[in-house]
Amino acid sequence: MPRSTSGLTLMALMFCGGFTPLIIAVISSLGVGPFSGARLLYGLSHALVWVSFGWVWSRAHETPVSSVSLCLFFTSIGVFWVFWGVRFGRHVEIEFWANACALTPLYLTSLVWLLYRIKHPPQLEGVHRLLVEEEERKDMEDLAETCRQLKSHEASFLSSIFFWWLQPLLRLGKARQLNQDDLPQVDKHCRVAPSLATFKKHWKDVEDSENIRKRFIRALWRTTRYYFILG
């Protein structure tokens, strides 16, 4: 399932919040001094912590367990580098504790949010599926309305085959095994009604096929041959 817009926005904000101190640390590390490397690692740890929370906030609705694991992994690396930088660069110790206090609300808020999502996962997949089905239904209704307005000689036989027979049949085949009663029904005024009647005639003629797939292919070939060669 695709990520929501709010999830992408949160992740973008987290990336900005993480890489901004990293860029500042890179610029400051270019100066002359014995602690430039420690300051660079400190900025990198900021980036990892923020990116990990951005990853969780954007994907927790899909896989909350793996998102928490990734968050803990990246955060542990960031914390290790922070303490490594403090140990070898005492001048950033005060800055570290100041930022640690500032990040505490972020940690607590994210923890509460994650626990809530794990206990009450949103039904985003079901909502997304309903929206997709509704969109497909509207597309089929628009296509049916177009078929009623056009004359039969204006339609391409192959395009009619694809939109009215193959597409619904393939969609149905993903949900369950097809049977002999799965041919779509169309209105008698539709532009594909004559070709569908021909297809149904050949469908009955090849009922001795080994399986439903070979039967469909044989009936489709006979119908196509009738329209393009004999017709």
- pLDDT digits 0-9 by tens, 197-227: 787 788 888 888 777 777 777 887 887 777 6
Q: Which of 26, 31, 56, 30 is nearest to 41 (CA)?
A: 26
For the record, the structure tokens of 150 come out as 């056009």
pLDDT (tens digit per residue) in 89-125: 544 444 555 455 545 555 555 566 666 656 655 544 4
Question: Which residue do the tokens 């640690």 mark?
Answer: 100
pLDDT (tens digit per residue) in 59-97: 554 544 455 555 555 556 556 655 555 555 544 444 555
Which helix (H) or strand (E) segment holds residue 98: the answer is helix 93-119
Q: How many CA atoms lie within 13 A of 197 on its CB side?
A: 7
Q: How many CA atoms lie within 13 A of 191 on its CB side?
A: 21
Distance separating alpha carbons of residues 1 and 132, to the nearest angstrom: 11
Contact between 37 and 29 under an 8 Å Cβ cutoff? The reply is yes
| Length, in residues, of the chain | 231
Distance separating alpha carbons of residues 42 and 191, to the nearest angstrom: 69
Q: Which of 42, 44, 53, 45 is nearest to 94 (CA)?
A: 42
